[in-house]
Amino acid sequence: MAAVPTPEQDLIPVTILTGFLGAGKTTLLNRILTEQHGEKIAVIENEFGETGVDNDILVEDREEQIVEMNNGCLCCTVRGDLVRILGELGKKRRQGKLSFDRVVIETTGLANPGPVAQTFFMDEDVHGAYLLDAVITVVDAKHGQQQLDRHDEARAQVGFADRILLSKTDLVGEAEVAGLMDRLRDMNRARARRR
């Protein structure tokens, strides 16, 4: 007997990749795009800095469809554009003009991922076509404590995370990593209980 697909199986999975400036989001994204995982990924990138998805990837890999938005913070002023771009991607996919299995949204390092995530629940068209499967936050082990002390955005990124990845752990001692991990667990405790 064949399994009957559920409505969620028809939705396009979306992962939000966030983390404070310099944490390593783009490095992780470049790694994902160069791995042989068998998925075609559409990337919506909104990076405040000059370094985006590796230009070599853009030139060498024509299979990936990348929409780069360099007009400020994705989480606030670009929300309408995010809805429009997701709509356009979905439409082109249905028409056979684009082929992709999932979407990754890389937010700027200064973003609160909350409004981006809310788009997948608040906009009916987006909710009907996409499934937000995870918010992944990259935290810089070397600078994370200071960033969390000083920046509301860094704290919001940790608070919204489904998964937290520590980068640059080779640049600090085990005690610093352990202290940061304890703090991250405390900050994300309510979210961890809902999993």
Q: What sign for the dihedral angle of Cα 78, 80, 82, 85? A: negative
Distances (CA, A) of 27 to 17, 31, 92: 11, 6, 28
Where does the pLDDT of residue 54 fall: very low under 50, low under 70, confident under 90, or very high at 90 and above? very low
Check pLDDT > 70 for residue 4. Answer: no
Domains located in the chain, CATH noted:
8-139 (3.40.50.300)
Q: Mean pLDDT throughout 180-191?
A: 88
pLDDT, the chain, mean: 80
Which pTM does this prediction carry? 0.81
Where does the pLDDT of residue 152 fall: very low under 50, low under 70, confident under 90, or very high at 90 and above? very high
